[in-house]
Amino acid sequence: MKPWARPSAATAALGALAFAAYANSFGALLLLDNAAIIGADVRLRATDWSDFVQIFTEGYWWPQFLTNLYRPLTTFSYWCNYTLLGHGDTPAGYHLVNLLLHLVNVLLLRRLASRIGAADGVAWLAAAIFAVHPLGVEVVTNIVGRADLLATLGVLGGSLAWLRADDEAGGHRSWRWRAAAGAIALAAVFAKENGIMVVAALALLEIHRSGWRSGIRTSATTVLPWMAPALIAIAVVRFVMQRHVADLPPAFVNNPIAYLGYWPGLMTAGNVAVRLLALVVWPAGLSCDYSYPQIPLFGESADGTWQGWGALLVLGLVAWTAGQIRRTRPLVAAGLVWAAVMYLPTSNFLVRIGSIMAERFMYLPLAGLALALAAALHGWGRPLNRRVTVALAAVILAAFTARTLVRNADWCDEVRFWRSAVAAAPRSFNVHKGLASALCADGRSEAGLDAAIAIVERALPLLEEPPLPLERRDNSLWGDLGQYYRSKGEFVLARGPRDEAVAWFEKSLVFLDRAHAVDRWVNAESRRRQLARGKSDGEVRENGFIPVHTQRAATLIRLGRLAEALETIRTLQRFAPLCADGFLLLAQIDRLNGDWEIAAVRYVEVLILDNKNEMAWRGFKEVYERLGIAPLPVQAVDGRRAFVDSSPRLRVQINTAMRDIVALLRGAKLHDEADDWIRRGMRYYGCPPEIFDEAGRGR
């Protein structure tokens, strides 16, 4: 018996391959979305039911953003890492879980390939290619790729459960396995939206073994009833989330296809599909981002037009090939069809999504492409010596493994990560922005800041030549450059020459004002969309990009334009009432105005929101010293600083702070959160209920 035909040996070999390819992934940092999803989601720290239940009642990005994404099972898995297993914000434990989930998917793919007729060697090779392919890095090494891991597990696991039901030939176990497939599909939907593709996977299985007519009939009469809970769940979730979150216009720079007409959008999406196929064949350059203007747009540039027609030719050729070999090489054709169907949700062919291109989009389709490649090698090698085929497969696996190891190393160093992205996607404005941010991440090096400014200034022409209309503009690059200019001014001011520092602050404000204009347009457009969708004026909330407002206010304060800074902060608090930076900026204004008592309240507000905020603790101490209050009403409790409740002056400040927090939440139309903070104020801070009455709600 060949090694891959022995289940234990085959499993061990696949496990060894997967661990070899990702051996250096455990040191990968919390980059990109990981910083917010893992590092800043307070739900992951939940130890009591009232906090824990928010995993299932709030969106995926809560509390950072209100979006229409709802992935409670994925968030629950992060909670298991963070709190249950005690990993906190240390990445290694999360990486291990991701790798184990990836290995489960690898083993499920091997089993599924065998069930649909692949020889043992072909099934093993397909799983091995899937295990080590570099396009998997953005899902496996990137911790928040777990959503794709769980969705893929649902698609593959649900498919195998459905096939197992057929083995039982109508008995009680058959019903149980079909119910299991339905339950797996439901779970997959709550891990990530494309988990619903298990329905398409079951339809493909029926078509593969029964032909088109019989397969479609069976799908309609048998598959759909068992998948109904998952289909209903995703429909309800989409309806509820769309109803309760802001209807923000899509960001042109993240997915320009959303702004193109049907035909130009379709042709540009085809260009993206061919680019991803090329990365499957050989992923020489990999990037975390392919935003505007990296992908030429059909009809808006000569490159975009000829690349679109070329992509149409390539995709047509692939489709024609699959049709020609469906009888002689059924597994190759099946793998290609699987990949095409599984790619549809993220393809921008059917619906326009938030991104134009991402390597993670290929994780689920890669299972089919791996099967197609393995079956093609097996069929191609028949006329040749079998050893030549095995040697070729070994070379492919070795090359993919080596490239995966190199790509993993990129994720372990932030500057290297962004430099590799710039090399792979030099016309993506976002990768230049990321590299600049990495170079001045610590904020203490003026040389790093100067390098960041130079990078962003070189990237500006990508968005400004030719200039984009207001609805297509991006505010993040301008916002970052405004922040860097202000930081440069702070370095200059620390050395003494105020006039030179003011010049930097004024340059900062120019770009922050541009960013602010875009942010206000997005808010107005969101409001228009929500009102058009039937929401009342009282239901429509403000929206905005927090850094633009905080940085603009900070620059205005440096320029002495305190009234404008105050108005900017008030705008910020209408959509982000619990932003600690907003209260810190208000404290700065109060101190400059000599309102030390009010500044003390601002610092108390920050410390109620974030007890570990060192800037607030320092400011609180300085204000109390200025007011001549001693000793400082603070004590250490269980290793953390806490207020001394017996201080009458502090008692008034706490009551005022809690009343203001509740008033801001009500002003932002977050009435449930306001009620929760009232209960929290009375329970944890001893606030009397009368401070929250109607007379105390305004500011």
Virtual torsion, Cα 146, 419, 406, 345, nearest 10 deg:
30
Q: Which residues does residue 636 pair with via DSSP β-bridges, in sequence order?
A: 641
342 band by pLDDT with thresholds 50, 70 and 90: very high
Give the Cα separation of 674 and 342 in Å (integer). Answer: 43
DSSP 298: B
pLDDT digits (tens, 9 = 90+) for 609-668: 988 899 999 999 999 999 888 888 888 877 788 888 778 889 999 999 999 999 999 998
pLDDT more than 70, % of the chain: 96
Side-chain-side CA neighbours of 35 within 13 Å: the count stands at: 4
Banded pLDDT at 1 (limits 50, 70, 90): very low
Q: How far apart are CA 492 and CA 449, in angstroms?
A: 12
Spatial CA neighbour of 43 closest among 70, 80, 69, 68: 80
pLDDT band of residue 110 (cuts 50, 70, 90) is: very high
The pLDDT of residue 381 is 59
What whole-number distance in Å separates Cα of residue 518 and Cα of residue 513?
A: 9
Q: Is 332 inside any structural domain?
A: no
* Same domain, yes or no: 540 and 437: yes
432, 523: one domain: yes
pLDDT at res. 637: 78
Per-residue pLDDT band at 692 (split at 50, 70, 90): confident
Amino acid present at 664: L
- Binned at pLDDT 50, 70 and 90, residue 491 comes out as very high
446, 498, 510 from 503: Cα distances, Å: 17, 9, 11
Q: Is residue 361 a part of any domain in this protein?
A: no
For residue 468, which phi and psi values (nearest 5 degrees)?
A: -90, 145
Judge contact between 582 and 569, C-beta under 8 A. Answer: yes
Distance CA(540)–CA(525), nearest Å, equals 12
CATH number of the domain residue 512 falls in: 1.25.40
Number of domains composing the chain:
2
pLDDT of 247 over the 90 cut: no
Residues 558 and 585 reside in one and the same domain: no
Residue 698 has pLDDT above 60, yes or no: no
Residues 665 and 692 in one domain: yes
Q: Distances in Å between the alpha carbon of 489 and those of 40, 504, 515? A: 29, 5, 19
Average pLDDT for 217-235 = 90
- With vertex at residue 287, the alpha carbon angle to CA 286 and CA 290, rounded to the nearest 5 degrees, is 125
d(CA 680, CA 675): 9
Checking if the pLDDT of 403 tops 50, the result is yes
- Name the domain boundary from 574, 603, 635: 574
Q: What is the pLDDT of residue 76?
A: 95
Q: Within this chain, do residues 623 and 697 fall inside the same structural domain, yes or no?
A: yes
Q: Flag whether pLDDT at 431 surpasses 70.
A: yes
Judge if 605 and 534 occupy the same domain.
no
| 520 and 643 belong to one structural domain | no
Residue 564 in domain: yes
Of 559, 574, 589, the residue that ends a domain is 574
Say if CB 614 and CB 620 are below 8 A apart.
no
Residue 477 in contact with residue 433, Cβ under 8 Å?
yes
Q: What is the pLDDT averaged over residues 287-302? A: 94
| Boundaries of domain holding 608 | 577-699
Residue 270 lies in a domain: no
Residues whose CB is less than 8 angstroms from the CB of residue 468 and which lie 6 or more positions away in sequence, other chains included: 252
Distance CA 563, CA 549 (A): 14
Instruction: Tell me how crowded residue 439 is: count the other CB atoms within 10 A of its CB.
Output: 22
Q: Are residues 372 and 321 in contact, defined by beta-carbon separation less than 8 angstroms?
A: no
Whether 4 shows a pLDDT value over 60: the answer reads no
Residue 532 domain-assigned? Answer: yes
The pLDDT of residue 238 is above 90 = no
Decide if 250 contacts 352 (C-beta within 8 A): yes
| Tens digits of residue pLDDT in 545-601 | 899 999 999 999 999 999 999 999 999 999 889 999 999 999 999 999 999 999 999
Confidence of residue 538 (pLDDT cuts 50, 70, 90): confident
Which of 522, 554, 574 represents a domain boundary (last residue)? 574
pLDDT (0 to 100) of residue 399: 96
pLDDT for the residue 536: 81
* CA 28 – CA 408 distance, rounded (Å): 7
Q: What angle do CA 365, 330, 15 make, to 5 degrees?
A: 50
Which pLDDT value is given to residue 697? 44
Contacts with 572 (C-beta within 8 Å, 6 or more apart), sequence order: 544, 546, 549, 550, 553, 579, 582
Residue 285 CB neighbour total at 10 angstroms: 12
Q: Assess whether 588 and 684 both reside in one domain.
A: yes
Residue 560 near residue 493, CB atoms below 8 Å: no
Q: Is residue 445 part of a domain?
A: yes
Averaged confidence pLDDT in the chain: 90
More confident residue, 633 or 20: 20
**Is residue 64 very low, low, confident or very high in pLDDT (cuts 50, 70, 90)?**
confident
670 or 584, which is more confident = 584
Query: Does a structural domain hold residue 307?
Result: no
Separation between Cα atoms, residue 599 and residue 588, nearest integer Å: 7
User: Scanning the structure block, which residue is given the tokens 């073994």?
Assistant: 209
Same domain for 435 and 570? yes
Q: Which residue has the tokens 């929500």?
A: 530
Cα–Cα distance measured from residue 358 to residue 283, given in angstroms and rounded to the nearest whole number: 13
pLDDT tens readout for residues 117-139:
999 999 999 999 999 999 999 99
Which pLDDT band, with edges at 50, 70 and 90, does 246 fall under? Answer: low
Q: What are the structure tokens assigned to 281, written together?
A: 């064949």
528 with 441, same domain: the answer is: yes
Burial of 349 (0-12, 13-18, 19+ CB in 10 A): middle
Q: For residue 686, how far is the Cα from the chain centroid?
A: 39
- Quickly count: other Cβ atoms within 10 Å of residue 337's Cβ: 19
User: In Å, how far are 23, 97, 538 from 417, measured between CA atoms?
Assistant: 18, 22, 44
Predicted local distance difference test score (pLDDT) of residue 639? 73
Same domain membership, residue 670 and residue 644: yes
618 in the same domain as 505: no
In a domain, 673, yes or no: yes
Q: How confident is the model at residue 695 (pLDDT cuts 50, 70, 90)?
A: very low
Highest mean pLDDT among 204-208, 564-568, 674-678: 564-568
At residue 169 the predicted structure's pLDDT band, cuts being 50, 70 and 90, is: low
Cα(665)–Cα(619) distance, integer angstroms: 24
